[in-house]
Each structure stands twice: as C-alpha cells, then as structure tokens.
Amino acid sequence: MEFKASILVADDEQDILEIIRYNLEKEGYKVYTASNGQQAIEMAKQVHPNLIILDIMMPYKTGIEVCNILRSQSDFNDTLIIFLTALNDELSHIKGLDSGADDYVSKPVSPKVLVSRVNALLRRIQKDGENSKIVTVGNISIDPEKFIVRIADEEVILAKKEFELLYLLASKPGRVFLRNEILNLVWGTDVIVGDRTIDVHIRKIRQKLGVDCVTTVKGVGYKFEM
Amino acid sequence: MEFKASILVADDEQDILEIIRYNLEKEGYKVYTASNGQQAIEMAKQVHPNLIILDIMMPYKTGIEVCNILRSQSDFNDTLIIFLTALNDELSHIKGLDSGADDYVSKPVSPKVLVSRVNALLRRIQKDGENSKIVTVGNISIDPEKFIVRIADEEVILAKKEFELLYLLASKPGRVFLRNEILNLVWGTDVIVGDRTIDVHIRKIRQKLGVDCVTTVKGVGYKFEM
DNA sequence: GGCATCCTTAACAATTTGGTAATTGCCTGC
DNA sequence: GCAGGCAATTACCAAATTGTTAAGGATGCC
C-alpha cells in the first residue's frame, strides 16, 4: 500500500480544508476533501476512506446527519469518524460521540493536535493489518512474508495459490469458509474458475502437509483445525 | 458477561476517582481504581482491563510513564488508554497521544463527556463480541461459523440441513415453529418437499445429539428446549 | 529451446446428503 | 376397543457434492 491510510475531510471553509489536507498529506495519508455534507456522503461512498473528518456546521447536510447516514450502512461500520466543530458546548460534544463518532475535536484546533488524534485512531486499525503476519496453530506455523509453512520445524513448500488458500483458512482456525468466500478472497471477484479447482488445491495442501488439518464441511465449505 | 467492559481509573485525587467511578459504574462498567502510577501498573497487570484512564500528574509514575511501560508489553496491545489531565497545553496533548494513548481529555471535564468518550472508544471492541452468533442453551452450544454443535464439550457433526434446522429451532428456545415456518425458513419458499421430510431430519438430529431437546407439539410443529 | 512447476479443467469414482414411501406406533375421540 | 390422524422409524434411491487422477496450457527458469 502506498499510503498509510485514506482520509476524507469535509468542511465548508476552504482554508481549513487546505490546512488540514496539507498536514495530513505530510504525514503520509491519502486525503480526499468535500465542502458540504451531501458531497461528503457521495465521496465517502466512492472512495471508502479509513477515516472521515466531519465539520458539523456544513450546508446541505450537517456533519451529524452525514454521520448518521453513513453509520446506518454496514459498509461504513469500520470507518472512523471525527467531528470537528466550533461548537464547544458539552451537549453537542456528547451528541456527536453518541451518534457513532469516534472522536470530537473543537475548533480552533492546531493541525498538530488533529494529526495526533488521527494517528491515535488509525493506530488501531493499522495494527490489525500488520498483525496478520505469522499464523500459528498447533505445531503448524505459516509465515506469509517468507512464504513458508512449517510443521514441527519441518519446512513445507507450497505453491502460491495453495499457500494463499491455506493461509486464509488458517487465519481463522475452526471457522468454516464457504466455497464462495474462498473464491472471492483467494481468486478475487472477477476471476471465474471451475468448481473442482478448489478441491484440487485442497487436495494438494492435504497431501503436502501430510497432516489432516483441513476439514471438509459438505455443502458448506472448508475449515482449518488441528 | 456481566459487565459491558472493565475500566481501570488512575488518579491521585480521591474525589475525582470517586466521581469517575460513580459515573462509569452507572453505565454498567466494571471499575477498578489506583491512586498512583505504580499502583496503576500493578493493577493493570492483575485485572487486564479493557480500558485505562490515566491522570498524567501522579506520584511515583506519571501517566505517560505508565502508558509507555504498558505499551511495551504485548499483553496490553489491545488495551485502550485515555489520558486525563489538567495540562491543557498542546505539547503534552500531542506527547500523550503519540506515546500510544487512544484519547486525551482535559480537566476539568464533565463526567458525561468522559463517559461519552469511553463509550465511543469501547464501541469498537464491543462489536467484535456481538458478531459471535453462537447459540447456547444449557450445555448445548451451536456455532454457525464453525459449523459445530457441542454437547457438554462433545462435538457432534450434523449435515447441512440438519444443522440449519437445529440452529433455527435453538435460536428461539421454547418457541414452537410450525411445520410451514420451518419449510419456509430452512428450505425456502420455492422448494417443495414432502411432509415427512422434516420428521426424518428431526429424527436424525435427535439421534445424533443423543439428548432429547427437540420436542414435538402434535398438530403444530416442533420446539427446542432442554 | 527444454524443463519444471503451477494452475485449471475435465472426467470419473466415491461419498454424503436429502427426500420419499411404506410401515409402525401412539394418542384421541367415539 | 377401534378408527383416524399424526408422528416416528426404517430402508432405499436419486441427487448433490466432493475426492482423485490425469492431462493440457501457461509461465518462468536455466
């Protein structure tokens, strides 16, 4: 990934927009902007940013309205939202947070403070990405960076697709992945492969690993378990 | 779980500690307290709270020191930290957030605002728990993600239709499902199957589970109960 | 170019599942 | 006690699903 994360900033004051953009880009974020509530919603749907900074007082739709609309869509469950506002009264502070925002910052705010808060919020989701490294289940460990699978310190070489498939299953041991899920997550949505393809790869994995850790759930999918 | 989440509050002013405790407990949180930095660390290691509220100015160890110590241990990777302080200058604000805290609140702060911020932070981790659609009734647990039925830790393997049927019944224990309802919900409206089909599946479930938890309501339907 | 590996597909075997029909058993009302 | 209605049981078959194997095209590496 080229950028640390993507951020959508919505404010009707052009100056503020630019100041924030400058500071966030300096930190390595990809920044999108919108200058009113309606535009913010449209932009959010298009670019699906990791975090959205919303001014509350905006034309067409207030930040709170935007927040409510986005929060009602499951696509934006994981999107972080920060309110930015000149209102400093306690009530709107609470209202903002309770409407599903993750943070609330009062204007005037120094760019540095804002950046710090953005970093603090994004630190959590970034960690998830980083952590998805080595998976260890029982005496099997899978290292996606080194592309190595080890069973009791014995290295096993898997082909790319086999590896991706195994890694997916092992990332949530016990959980059943539907054939469709597997296709989407390993092959992607735009590639169409025959039904037997998955089976053949599963077979090779089972064969190469020697251990029986991939279980078939007929009519449903496959799962990884020791 | 009895409590929504557990929170450790560390502050050297007893009054503040009590006010915060009162307000958080009112919200349904389990609250632990510590009155200096050292104590906060010890307490954190013992109770592993979901969130820690740290006053910055404390004897023995400042909040920032506590934060750094805890953050350096992987056990506390997922622990949320909020700084609470009278210092309102920008520098400590940034320093606090950059040292790995998740939020920073300046004193004097109204309890309501603090509670809102706590809620906002915890909302994210609580969601993870909700996702588990595991149904548990008595000593039977049904996990649709892992496609597993457990009776007193004994795994039972059910076929797809059997599983779906059992999951439906168990999702509302005690409630009677009409044969028609069952057909619609498990088989769908467009598939037509004979009347005896349900019985046969029910029989297989009873047989495999070994426990008599599916009750027939003659002329009406079936229900799940222990 | 030649070789090896990987990915996919096709064909067939093996297995499991879901559904049906026939029979039996149980309860209820008469 | 008997008939009727409904559910339980059993055995069986067809359909759906997966396992296995082999083969061909694609790709990359000497």
Average pLDDT over residues B122-136: 69
Measuring alpha carbon to C1', the residue closest to nucleotide C11 is A196
Give tens-digit pLDDT for A95-147.
766 777 788 877 777 777 788 888 877 876 665 555 557 777 778 888 887 88
CA-wise closest residue to A53 among A125, A126, A98, A119: A119
With helix as H, strand as E and coil as C, how does B119-130 read?
HHHHHHHHHHHH
Q: Which of A64, A112, A127 is the best substitution to test chain B (most B C-beta atoms within 10 A)?
A: A112
Nearest-angstrom CA–CA distance, A121 and A78: 12
Show the CA angle centred on residue A10, arms to residues A53 and A14, nearest 5°.
125
At A1 the pLDDT is 44
Give tens-digit pLDDT for B75-126.
676 788 888 877 666 666 666 666 777 777 777 777 777 888 888 778 766 6
CA of B155 to C1' of C23 (A): 33
pLDDT exceeding 90 applies to what percent of chain A?
Answer: 21
Q: Taking CB atoms and an 8 Å cutoff, what residues of chain B touch A174?
A: 145-146, 148
At A106 the pLDDT is 73
CA of B196 to C1' of C24 (A): 14
pTM of the model: 0.65
At A90 the pLDDT is 62
As beta bridge partners, residue A54 has: A10, A83
Show the CA angle centred on residue A79, arms to residues A75 and A83, nearest 5°.
130
Largest CA distance in chain A: 65
A198 within 8 A of A183, measured Cβ to Cβ? yes
Token output for B93: 């604000």
A64 within 8 A of A91, measured Cβ to Cβ? no
Candidates B117, B127, B147; nearest CB to A217? B147
Q: In what order do the strands lie in the sheet with A140-143?
A: A135-137, A140-143, A148-151, A154-156
Tell which strand D nucleotides have any atom below 7 Å from a protein Cβ. Answer: 5-11, 16-22
Average pLDDT over residues B57-69: 79
Distances (CA, A) of B76 to A99, A170, B39, B64: 28, 24, 16, 15
The average confidence (pLDDT) of chain A is: 82
Show the CA angle centred on residue B85, arms to residues B81 and B86, nearest 5°.
170
pLDDT exceeding 70 applies to what percent of chain A?
Answer: 88
| Length of chain B counted residue by residue | 226
Distance, CA of B131 to chain centre? 9
Q: With an 8 Å Cβ cutoff, are B97 and A117 in contact? A: yes
The three-class DSSP label of residue B84 is: strand
Position A222 pLDDT exceeds 90: yes
Give tens-digit pLDDT for B14-31.
888 888 888 888 878 888
CA-wise closest residue to B183 among B173, B193, B174: B193
The three-class DSSP label of residue B5 is: coil
Nearest CA in chain A to B78: A124
